[in-house]
Chain A
Amino acid sequence: MHAIELPSYKEQSPEVADRMARLRERPVIMEARSITKRFPSEQGENTALLNVSLHARRREFLSIIGPSGCGKSTLIRILAGLESATEGAVLLEGKVVSVPGPERGMVFQGYTLFPWLTIKRNVMFGLQVGGLSDMLAESEAMQWIEMVGLADFADHYPHQLSGGMKQRVAIARALANRPRVLLMDEPFGALDAQTRARMQSYLLQIWRKVDITIIFITHDLDEAVYLSDRILVLKANPGEVAELIEVPVPQPRSPKQFLSLEFLAVKARLEELIHPDSGVEDELPMLRLTCVDDEVT
């Protein structure tokens, strides 16, 4: 099947196994207990999530991946408190949470910077709402803006920034609030490939420097493997946990690992889970445009 023989994605080098063991001893920051979510629909009810449980430990990078429509966004919105689960509970450091709060920062796929505030004031927003004085909030915000490399743009408005820059500000804005966990819903989904790669390494750098647990949604397999300690794979209809994968690629990560055997092994496994090979070619209806007679095939 594969051109090269891949090791099992479950095989971990001693260092990785050691890291995983230590990770398991860390305190759980965010926990979801058998979350079920049903949406009312014309045919009664539509189960978007069924019995999904997960826990993210301190300073872990946990990705959630799955086919489109499997309920990833719904899940992370429930974790953030923006939506309530039909059944199940969300716990933050052992306490049940049900409404959004500053301890769970969120970065959305779309751009959600406040267009009427400058970059600096966007990052100051959570700090001011939290009761910090303007002076303190400003100096703190500036440190985060510097951390994402946008100090020169502090007094610009969001509409003057590129997509990648906006997402960096969104990350700074969420982190400035010192959340315990950072929830990210396909934050780089709208970016081009190069910008996305740069943003990934930015995120890894920040994650290494800051005491933050990240729950990261993506549908990009490479992105999931490259960034994560563990990957929670969901399947669709209904959205259920398919598998929880411990990524055997050693930390710290670098783009060079994209071609390492461990990396490819995890990716192959994800392919299997997300795009199961049905063996038969999908039967497309014959349309006028599908009858092409030329040398391509």
Chain B
Amino acid sequence: MSHAPWLAIRKEPPARRSAILTVLSFVLPLVIWCLVSYVPFIWHPLVEITDSGDSIYLEKGGLVDRASFEQENARIASENGRQARGVRANPVYLPAPHEVARAMYTAFTTEPRRPEEPWLHESLWHSIRVVFLAFWISSIIGVPLGILCGVFGLISKLFEPFIEFFRYLPAPVFGALAVAVLGIGDGPKIAIIFIGTFFQQVLVIANTTRKVEPALIEAAQTLGARGATLVRRVVLPAISPHIYRDMRILLGWAWTYLIVAEVVGASTGITWFINQQAKYRIYENVYAAILIIGVIGFGTDYLLGVIEKNLFVWNGGRRNRFFRFIMDPAPPIRARAAAAPGRSAIVREPSEG
């Protein structure tokens, strides 16, 4: 197992090694961040003043860049004053990991500065609601339309050229228009995410639908399936795992449009929180909020991945106990040759031997 070559082309590494690599892919950036934050001689371009000495302008707790600090000390030295003292520090916009980790908790518990402003969890919930609402609206129209485009040439020719054109229009350019039409509430935000997702969605789903194995359709035709039956019993199940996969990717896109959408009209949600904290120069909170978006996105996708494996068992997945309980309520009953009256004579009398 451990003898497997490290750089085998298109081969999954052994399970243990995969797990280690997965952990490493998160640990490595963290290690770099720690090094930059905690090891002074790596970067630390500033000096945090611990004792202002006889300086006229240095203040205790203030940050100055190293060159100015040394210049000031040189000046003090020439006047035989008391030297200022300080420790090397990073700029405020690069907080250390432990500060951000602490902020992940304290950001939730800190009361908003003004009573009418939302708490962090309220902002977050607002963002999540907007994304999922927009994605939902886009999907209930986009998925059926995409499938219809994939199945019927007529519908494809009627809709796709325009959609193809429209998807090149960047969603944010509709911001002002959306506010004019839909006011300053969540309406324009949902509209922007919708515009960003919908047009891609129709095209992606249509393409996936077109990729259904023609041999399966032909096999179904020779078994008597036609029209709507063919679509319902062959096309839909054949493409369902691929559509599911597409939806996971599209949901990721919807998240990226969220940040654009939230500054349209009155800024709200997690973006408002981030901008607000940046204004206050509490950068650990900014990082914490960004990380929380990542965790929500990644967590949603992971969850959808687990559901996928359990949903499409025939595509190589496996159902775990929980899903077996929900989806296979009763053990399969093998109905063996419970001869059906009138149709049991499969073997007709040979007309001759």
* Chain A interface residues toward B at CB < 8 A: 22, 26, 58-59, 80-82, 99-102, 104-106, 108, 110, 112, 114-117, 125-126, 129-130, 132, 135-136, 138-140, 142-144, 146-147, 151, 154-155, 157-159, 173-174, 177, 183, 208-211, 251-252
Q: B224 contacts A136, CB within 8 Å?
A: no
How many residues of B are counted as interface, with CB atoms below 8 angstroms from the partner's CB atoms?
Answer: 39
Q: A108 contacts B234, CB within 8 Å?
A: no
Closest chain A residue to B230, Cβ basis: A129
Interface contact tally, CB-CB below 8 A:
121
Interface centre among B218, B219, B229 (most CB of A within 10 A): B219
- Knowing A116-B314, A136-B340 touch, does A125 contact B233 (C-beta < 8 A)? yes
Judge whether B183 is part of the interface by a CB distance below 8 angstroms. Answer: no
Q: B222 contacts A80, CB within 8 Å?
A: yes
- Knowing A129-B229, A139-B335 touch, does A209 contact B222 (C-beta < 8 A)? no
Residues of B near A112 (CB, < 8 A) are 213, 215-216, 218-219
Q: In whole Å, how far is B76's beta carbon from the nearest beta carbon of chain A?
A: 79
Judge whether B256 is part of the interface by a CB distance below 8 angstroms. Answer: no
Q: B238 contacts A116, CB within 8 Å?
A: yes
Q: In whole Å, how far is A146's beta carbon from the nearest beta carbon of chain B?
A: 7
Query: Quick one: CB contact mask for B284-322 with A, threshold 8 Å, 1 for yes?
Result: 000000000000000000000000000011111000000
Q: B314 contacts A159, CB within 8 Å?
A: yes
Q: B222 contacts A105, CB within 8 Å?
A: yes
Q: In whole Å, how far is B47's beta carbon from the nearest beta carbon of chain A?
A: 65
Task: Name the one of B237, B338, B346, B350 contacting A147, with C-beta atoms under 8 angstroms.
Answer: B346
Residues of A near B353 (CB, < 8 A) are 251-252
Q: A115 contacts B315, CB within 8 Å?
A: yes
The residues in B between 326 and 353 inclusive whose CB is less than 8 angstroms from any CB of A are 332, 334-340, 343-344, 346-348, 350-353
Can you report 11 A-B residue pairs in the complex whose CB atoms are below 8 A from each other? A101-B224, A102-B224, A125-B225, A125-B233, A136-B340, A139-B337, A139-B340, A144-B346, A146-B336, A174-B223, A177-B223
| CB-based closest 8 A-B pairs | A102-B224, A126-B223, A112-B219, A100-B221, A106-B222, A211-B348, A116-B237, A116-B314
Residues of B near A159 (CB, < 8 A) are 314, 316
Residues of A near B94 (CB, < 8 A) are none
Judge whether B220 is part of the interface by a CB distance below 8 angstroms. Answer: yes
Q: Beyond A114-B220, A129-B220: 19 further Cβ-contacts under 8 Å? A: A59-B350, A81-B221, A101-B224, A106-B219, A112-B219, A114-B216, A125-B220, A129-B225, A139-B335, A142-B336, A142-B337, A146-B337, A151-B336, A155-B332, A159-B314, A159-B316, A173-B223, A177-B224, A210-B348
Q: In whole Å, how far is B116's beta carbon from the nearest beta carbon of chain A?
A: 53
Residues of B near A143 (CB, < 8 A) are 337, 339, 344, 346
Q: A130 contacts B334, CB within 8 Å?
A: no
Q: B352 contacts A22, CB within 8 Å?
A: yes
A26–B229 alpha-carbon span in the complex (Å): 36
Q: In whole Å, how far is B240's beta carbon from the nearest beta carbon of chain A?
A: 8
Query: Quick one: CB contact mask for B203-226 with A, threshold 8 Å, 1 for yes?
Result: 000000000010110111111110
Residues of A near B233 (CB, < 8 A) are 125, 129
Interface centre among A125, A155, A159 (most CB of B within 10 A): A125
- Knowing A102-B224, A147-B346 touch, does A82 contact B218 (C-beta < 8 A)? yes
Closest chain A residue to B238, Cβ basis: A116
Residues of A near B221 (CB, < 8 A) are 81-82, 99-100
Closest chain B residue to A80, Cβ basis: B222
Q: In whole Å, how far is B305's beta carbon from the nearest beta carbon of chain A?
A: 19
A80–B215 alpha-carbon span in the complex (Å): 13
- Knowing A59-B350, A112-B215, A140-B343 touch, does A82 contact B316 (C-beta < 8 A)? no
Q: In whole Å, how far is B125's beta carbon from the nearest beta carbon of chain A?
A: 37
Residues of A near B314 (CB, < 8 A) are 115-117, 157-159
